[in-house]
Amino acid sequence: MFGIEGNKFAAIALLGYIPFAFCMFIFFPPRKAVIYDFLVAWLFLPMSDLPLHGFTDLNKMSAACFGTLVGALMFDNTTVFSFRFKRWDIPMLIWCLCPFASSLSNDKGIYDAFAAIAYQTTRWGLPYFIGRIYFNDLKGLRELAIAIVAGGLVYLPLTWFEIRMSPQLHLIVYGYHQHDFSQTERYGGYRPMVFMQHGLAVAMWMCTASLTAFWLWRCKAVDKVLGIPIGWACLLLMVTSLWLRSVGAEMLMILGLGVLVLTGMTRSRVWILILTLIPPVWITLRATNIYDGASLVQFAKTYDPRSAESLATRFHSERVLVGRAMRQPLLGWTPWDFLNSELAAAENGIPDQMWVIAVGEFGLVGLISLTVALLMPIWLVTQRIPVRYWKHPGAAPVAALAMMLTLHMCDNLFNAMVNPIFIICAGGLTALNFEFQPDRRPVGRPVSQTPALPAPALPTHGRPYPA
């Protein structure tokens, strides 16, 4: 990632965001303050890492986390201390702690081990924790889904500008490009980066916002977002998403929409099962080299030589890096030894895929815990809200967020674009405080009198869905 040398404004923006996030709790209800803190940070802060020696780095993710936690402790400590550890939190806990074991197993020392935990927890554990305590009911998840659509709408004019003028906004505001500019040129035009780490991250954000908007519109869960009718918002987001020149994100959006529609039509979980099997099956096939990817590269060459070249590079990197990772398969090499290895550099191994980074840095323990942490929420949702109710306005936002998180794990098979708002979704969906209970209406009671799903705007703790 590019640094902030020569641009004091980027450093001031990061440092100043902590008190800004803290102050949001003064002017808004806690849950809305959390949403605004993370949306503004992720959409507009610079892509930079300001080293905090002895702890972690200050970047847009950590600034939002630190500011939000300080504000929550000062103005809403009851919610913070209401957290209760559940068995569903174990995968994320292991993912946050495995850097400690990896550092010690590689003789890096206790200081390095605690620094590694601090970095991992700031990047993953804190957003997950915030999602656990603030978005653990239907009302909170509905607000989060609407916020994601709103974030996509806010980015519309910015992406339009960069599609026409090339990615320049980060340079204009902060004085430098956040990534190699040559990677923004695609299909005779430009792939917008706006204020995110890469054009792929922007495309994934816009495509997931489009998916969420579509499901909210189809299920009549929301009328307007930012004053725009949800139907028009969905149309604008989808057209723009298809214009961002990112084939992978577009395919994932179409896949997610297809699974949601088929699940709603058939009321069967089989489509979700197929989707959630894609990441572990793909990882197994690639890690064991049962499938070398050559046929997929040949197929891509027929339609898009540039994408085929990118795929071939990724497959080569996987072979190089997974081969090194499997020399220490249990706990990995730590980030310093794995990503900076002479072997990887000599054989042009580029760590682009999140799953490859996870297994290389933290071994199979890290890879399994991360995969379960991101795929488990959608199965928990199917247990708590049967799929036959996913088209109901009260359940639609939850279904959309669960699908979005699962697609994020699928995206991690080829990319490593960590988004804290997706991690917040993981925490909220895992903690969803809404257990399905069979209806116990008296014999002879008409079905028409069965209680309806709770209204999205009302608290939902402890209230059952009908059978």
Which of 54-68, 111-125, 298-312, 356-370 is predicted least confidently? 298-312
**Token pair 């949403």 is at which residue?**
35
Q: How many domains does the chain have?
A: 2
Mean pLDDT of 178-187: 80
Residue 104 has a CB neighbour count (10 Å cut-off) of: 16
- The answer, yes or no, to whether residue 431 has pLDDT greater than 70, is yes
439 within some domain = no
* Residue that terminates a domain, selected from 82, 113, 129: 82
Query: Are 188 and 228 in a shared domain?
Result: yes
Using one digit for the tens of pLDDT, what is the confidence trace for 14-46? 999 999 999 999 999 999 999 999 999 999 999
Q: Give bridge partners of residue 224 from the DSSP assignment.
A: 229
Using one digit for the tens of pLDDT, what is the confidence trace for 361-396? 999 999 999 999 999 999 999 999 999 999 999 999
Query: Are 44 and 150 in a shared domain?
Result: no
- The answer, yes or no, to whether residue 65 has pLDDT greater than 90, is yes
Classify residue 190 by burial, with Cβ atoms within 10 Å: 0-12, 13-18, 19+: buried
222 within some domain = yes
* Residue that terminates a domain, selected from 58, 82, 106: 82
The amino acid occupying position 403 is: M
* Residue that terminates a domain, selected from 32, 61, 82: 82
Query: Are 261 and 167 in a shared domain?
Result: yes
Report which DSSP code applies to 441.
P
Contact at 8 Å (CB) between 196 and 246?
no
Please report the DSSP string for 171-209 in residue order.
Answer: HHHHSS-SS-GGGGEETTEE---TTSS-HHHHHHHHHHH
Query: Are 7 and 65 in a shared domain?
Result: yes
Q: pLDDT class for 435, splitting at 50, 70, 90?
A: low
Q: pLDDT class for 182, splitting at 50, 70, 90?
A: confident
Residue 257 has a CB neighbour count (10 Å cut-off) of: 18
Mean pLDDT of 62-88: 94
228 within some domain = yes
| Angstrom distances, CA of residue 437 to CA of 255, 383, 464 | 31, 10, 5
Model pLDDT, residue 456: 41
Query: Are 97 and 43 in a shared domain?
Result: no
Classify residue 91 by burial, with Cβ atoms within 10 Å: 0-12, 13-18, 19+: buried
The amino acid occupying position 225 is: V
Query: Are 290 and 316 in a shared domain?
Result: yes
Mean pLDDT of 273-287: 94
Helix (H, G, I), strand (E, B) or coil at 377: helix
Query: Are 128 and 253 in a shared domain?
Result: yes
Model pLDDT, residue 459: 36
285 within some domain = yes
Contact at 8 Å (CB) between 359 and 391?
no
Residue 446 has a CB neighbour count (10 Å cut-off) of: 7
Using one digit for the tens of pLDDT, what is the confidence trace for 115-174? 899 999 999 999 999 999 999 999 999 999 999 999 999 999 999 999 999 999 999 999
412 within some domain = yes
448 within some domain = no
Of the candidates 202, 123, 208, 234, the residue with the CA atom closest to the CA atom of residue 401: 208
HEC-encoded secondary structure of 233-270: HHHHHHHHHCCCCCHHHHHHHHHHHHHHHHHHHHCCCH
438 within some domain = no
Query: Are 408 and 312 in a shared domain?
Result: yes
Q: How far apart are CA 211 and CA 234, in angstroms?
A: 8
Q: How far apart are CA 103 and CA 117, in angstroms?
A: 10
407 within some domain = yes
Contact at 8 Å (CB) between 149 and 212?
yes
Contact at 8 Å (CB) between 4 and 45?
no
- The answer, yes or no, to whether residue 455 has pLDDT greater than 60, is no
Residue 467 has a CB neighbour count (10 Å cut-off) of: 11
Q: How far apart are CA 20 and CA 46, in angstroms?
A: 15
Query: Are 338 and 217 in a shared domain?
Result: yes
**Which residues does 287 contact at the CB level (< 8 Å), separation at least 6?**
322, 326, 359
**Token pair 């020696």 is at which residue?**
53
**Token reading at 215:** 């499901």
Query: Are 66 and 99 in a shared domain?
Result: no
Of the candidates 138, 146, 395, the residue with the CA atom closest to the CA atom of residue 264: 395
Classify residue 195 by burial, with Cβ atoms within 10 Å: 0-12, 13-18, 19+: buried
Query: Are 56 and 193 in a shared domain?
Result: no
Domain that holds residue 5: 1-82
Contact at 8 Å (CB) between 106 and 341?
no
User: Helices 30-44 and 126-134 sit at what angle, rounded to 10 degrees?
Assistant: 150
Question: Mean pLDDT of all residues in the chain?
Answer: 87
Query: Are 303 and 390 in a shared domain?
Result: yes
Q: pLDDT class for 347, splitting at 50, 70, 90?
A: low
